[in-house]
Amino acid sequence: MLTDRRIAVNGVEIACSTGGAGPPVLLLHGFPQTRAMWEPIAESLARDFHVVTADLRGYGDSSVPGQDDPQDCAAFSFRAMGQDQLSLMRALGFERFHLVGHDRGARVAHRIALDAPERVASLTVMDIVPTHHLLCELTWPVAHTYYHWFFLARPYPLPERMIGADPDAFFESCLGGWGDDGLAAFDPTALEAYRAAWRKPEVIFGMCQDYRAAIAHDLALDRGDLDRRVSCPALVLYGAEGVMARLFDLPATWAGRLAQMQAQSLPGGHFFPDTAPAATADALAAFLASVGTIS
């Protein structure tokens, strides 16, 4: 059983859950979710690892900075969100740890591995292609399917007002639309946690700021690091029936960016950690065990 906590770092409070014993592993969620997505996976991993799940800033129960100046989205860059997580792990007593991210959490994880390679024992990215690749090699099928990248990035307050009219309709269309699983495949308890978060106006704002920052800040940061490779062992996991797998050769998009890469598909669509948690936990446990001891 994991214990819920809220820890002050970098001028914000990050909501997290911790439990288990063994090498530390940090699990980061994606859009439009919260750390609740990891619960069954975390419970499984906690048999052999000290597990930390955390809400990104702007998501779930974590702080939402910048509401006094909504035109400035710099506080939501992947670098800023990554610094939160590095400080969180240090506050919990972990200088070096395994790092796992899905969707937006995977983008934060990739940035952490570039900014603080000495802190990351292994990196797992789930069902994404690199941010620079997605934006700079954009095709109309990708833009059509992942239109939310550009809708959410519109200037404040247009997307906030439109989503706020019916948050469940918008966000549930995202959960049900990026794979063949539909909402019925999601755990009802996790869905309720997601709804409770995304119904809050400040969380809607935080998620929009995340996507604004990806274009306004993260694209340039990634362009500056195109000649760098993450050196630690890395695993690319993706949904075999997901949109990303249909539109990209996911391992190929990462091959030049990860020096020690493994890749594996899992049953389901984009949200396979939600819809196939046992298979996801097994894949993670096998990979993390193969990395060996964290020094």
pTM over 0.95: yes
Tell me the H-state helices in the chain: 39-45, 78-91, 104-115, 131-136, 140-145, 148-152, 158-164, 167-177, 188-198, 201-213, 219-224, 243-247, 250-254, 272-275, 277-291
pLDDT at position 48: 97
CA–CA gap between residue 173 and residue 294 (Å, rounded):
40
- CA dihedral (74, 79, 81, 84) positive or negative: negative
Strand partners, 102: 126
Q: Would you call 274 exposed, middle or buried from its count of C-beta atoms within 10 A (0-12, 13-18, 19+)?
A: buried
Distance in angstroms (rounded) separating the CA atoms of residues 74 and 207: 13
- Say which CATH topology domain 3-291 has: Rossmann fold (3.40.50)
- What does the pLDDT read at residue 179? 61
pLDDT in the model for residue 180 = 61
What confidence score (pLDDT) does residue 295 get? Answer: 74
Residue with tokens 């869905």: 191
Of 29, 102, 217, 270, catalytic: 270
Residues in the chain with pLDDT < 70? 179-181
Which of these is catalytic: 55, 61, 84, 103?
Answer: 103
Active site residue 103: yes
Structure tokens at 74: 């710099």
Which pLDDT score is estimated for 294?
85
- Would you list the domain boundaries of the chain? 3-291
Is 127 among the residues known to form the active site? no
β-partners of residue 209 are none
